[in-house]
Chains A and B, each alone.
Chain A
């Protein structure tokens, strides 16, 4: 039973066909990897799923609902949260405030409630705050709550993005190169964090260049090259696939 289905999705930038009719389906509860050489269109696929870009064709089905071309905030509300390849935090705000951004879509009170200081609004704020603290504890940033986001280390900023994504109570979390800029220790911790996320019943879809992480963490992989899907399977199958080997050798990627 699949949680997310991407069907023949297409994206053009001017004359460039960045994503060429890619299809795959992510099973519920899985850790699913999207790999491929630089410029293969992986992040573009993510942006198509999360509604940052509108596709030129194809569809995205999430929990049996067509969410193609919906605005990003609706997609988040539907249960897909994400992190960004180039870290996008609210740099001049406190760590805790960054996580509260994720809580936003699960809250209800509007400007009028705030100005009238309704009890419901007050209670909701309190609940959101404890939820945010809980997520910080989950990723191991509990004691950094009052720091400014920009003062965190690179690895911790990645973790903060994950906490922010988790705060929106997603069914699917999309991680775009979560280990980018992390040292070995941090990467190892990330592998176990991904496992704990999976244990919470959240499906994980990730892009990663660190192949040791991909092989350890993912149950299933899709390989893209020049915007096309060239292979799909378990890590063990992918490792042996001649097309994949050629693609990676051709791009001189030593990680593989």
Chain B
């Protein structure tokens, strides 16, 4: 029981980050039916930009710890969002009317370009975030130690996700995004500027990925230029698990994937952890072919 509880918190903390990155996949997919394979690298860029901003501006020294970190995160999100828009312009916009898989290859090319750019700019070595910016206390829940940062990570991810959900469900722009996701042509006829919607989606998704990057950097302390590939694949898995194109699905998928990994590692085998996660994914998809929260539409014939 003790192990179960500990592993649950472990899984939820990692799952929160998966979920945050998964949102970027799912939003872009929802509107464009495109798997943005470069999304994981935007996450990496977020982590590296966060490091640059942190060390060059010394925000935390000027305006205090928490405020500095928040400002830092917002700046990194904004920058990564802009890079996301540029990425769309360069790699995907010219391929809007092409077969879907062509855009996937372009995305893979973009992923190679982005990760190698990071390598050339920042060097291939592991980079380390300054330590001691975040609280390192440990909570004791029923006598079990749980680092407070795990709650902060999970809390921040959930807060961002709820914010996004409210934005998509309650605001006019959010409605436009949902409309464009259902039928671009119809949305256009209703006077929605679909190009603007796509731009917005390519801002928000990468921005959330960038936020995840900063969080990973701040909490775990070390970042490498290849980490986007691992996280990206996991987050994509999470998005599919929840039902791609579905925002609550990405959240559920991410958290669930984190928990499956943690429990699989604890109770079955650590070395087989990723294999267990994929195996569960496959089982779930066999039973529910469009993911947990994906819509099951009978094709109109």
Contact = CB atoms under 8 A, between A and B. Distances in A.
Nearest to B300: A86
A43 B301 CA distance: 8
A21 interface: no
Nearest to A53: B298
Interface of B is mostly: loop
Contacts of B301: 43, 47, 52, 84-85, 88
Interface in B274-301: 298, 300-301
A84 B300 CA distance: 11
Nearest to A50: B301
Interface residues of A, number: 9
Contacts of A86: 300
Interface string A30-65: 000000000000010001000011000000000000
Interface in B70-90: none
A86 B300 CA distance: 9
A139 B15 CA distance: 60
Interface in A45-100: 47, 52-53, 84-86, 88
Contacts of B298: 13, 53
Interface in A1-50: 13, 43, 47
Contacts of A13: 298
A167 to B, nearest CB: 20
B149 to A, nearest CB: 45
A3 B300 CA distance: 27
Contacts of A53: 298
Nearest to B299: A52
Contacts of A43: 301
Interface string B70-114: 000000000000000000000000000000000000000000000
Interface in B125-151: none
Nearest to B296: A14
B160 to A, nearest CB: 33
A217 B298 CA distance: 33
A84 B299 CA distance: 13
A97 to B, nearest CB: 19
A93 to B, nearest CB: 16
A186 to B, nearest CB: 24
A13 B301 CA distance: 14
Contacts of A88: 301
Nearest to A44: B301
A43 B300 CA distance: 10
A52 B301 CA distance: 8
Interface string B187-198: 000000000000
A165 B280 CA distance: 42
Nearest to A47: B301
Contacts of B300: 86
A47 B298 CA distance: 12
A164 to B, nearest CB: 16
A16 to B, nearest CB: 11
A88 B299 CA distance: 13
Interface string B240-269: 000000000000000000000000000000
A162 to B, nearest CB: 17
B43 to A, nearest CB: 38
A6 to B, nearest CB: 18
Contacts of A47: 301
Contacts of A84: 301
B297 to A, nearest CB: 10
Interface string A168-200: 000000000000000000000000000000000
Nearest to A46: B301
A43 B299 CA distance: 13
B106 to A, nearest CB: 22
A84 B301 CA distance: 7
Contacts of A52: 301
B102 to A, nearest CB: 15
A13 B300 CA distance: 12
A88 B301 CA distance: 9
Nearest to B298: A13
B120 to A, nearest CB: 42
B296 to A, nearest CB: 10
B172 to A, nearest CB: 30
A226 B213 CA distance: 55
Interface string B160-203: 00000000000000000000000000000000000000000000
Closest 9 CB pairs of A and B: A52-B301, A47-B301, A84-B301, A13-B298, A43-B301, A53-B298, A85-B301, A86-B300, A88-B301
Given A13-B298, A43-B301, A52-B301, 6 more contacts: A47-B301, A53-B298, A84-B301, A85-B301, A86-B300, A88-B301
Interface of B: 298, 300-301
9 contacts: A13-B298, A43-B301, A47-B301, A52-B301, A53-B298, A84-B301, A85-B301, A86-B300, A88-B301
